């Protein structure tokens, strides 16, 4: 079956679009290609990750059904032990819940409260 659409943008709500764009740029690279009052675009490997101003943003609280996770990003790293201090230095926090701790992934929270995972890809496949 042919695709109906092509991925254009993944947008995250945040009270600080520029700050969150800088966080993700430090985490995954890319180039900020547009900045307006309430929207910042970060282009990474042909994908646009955008950050939209949401002054009353309430971050998800993973595990609380009142504010469920809804969405998260998985990022592959070569060495999770080496990557973790750099991610924390950028402003991420390690989530209290770590269901993958005995496997190959860990859960973190970005500066606006969105969860993301670092996945150690020991198999060499994405």
Tell me, yes or no, whether 66 lies in a domain. no
Give Rg (Cα) of the chain. Answer: 15
Q: Is residue 62 part of a domain?
A: no
Domain that holds residue 100: 71-126
Number of domains in the chain: 2
Which whole number is the average pLDDT over 27-41?
Answer: 95
Please identify which residue in the block is written with the tokens 């950028």.
90
Establish if 65 belongs to a structural domain. Answer: no
DSSP three-state, residue 108:
strand
| Domain assignment present for 64 | no
Q: pLDDT tens-digit profile of 65-101?
A: 777 667 789 999 999 999 999 999 999 999 998 887 7
Q: What is the CATH number for 47? A: 3.10.180.10
Q: Does pLDDT of 41 surpass 60?
A: yes
Are residues 2 and 39 part of one domain?
Answer: yes
CA 48 to chain centroid:
13
Q: Is the pLDDT of residue 125 over 70?
A: no
Amino acid 123: pLDDT = 61
Domain presence at residue 6:
yes
Least confident of 38-52, 56-70, 111-125: 56-70
What is the model's pTM?
0.86
- The reply to whether 61 falls in a domain is no
């Amino acid at each position: 079956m042919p695709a109906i659409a092509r991925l254009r943008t993944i947008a995250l709500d945040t009270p600080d679009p520029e700050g969150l764009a800088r966080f993700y740029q430090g985490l995954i690279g890319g180039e900020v290609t547009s900045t307006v009052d309430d929207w910042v675009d970060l282009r990474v490997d042909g994908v646009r990750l955008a950050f939209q101003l949401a002054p009353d943003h309430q971050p998800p609280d993973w595990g609380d059904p009142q504010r469920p996770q809804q969405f998260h990003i998985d990022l592959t790293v070569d060495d999770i032990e080496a990557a973790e201090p750099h991610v924390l230095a950028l402003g991420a926090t390690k989530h209290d819940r770590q269901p993958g701790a005995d496997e190959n992934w860990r859960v973190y929270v970005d500066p606006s409260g969105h969860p993301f995972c670092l996945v150690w890809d020991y198999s060499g496949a994405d």
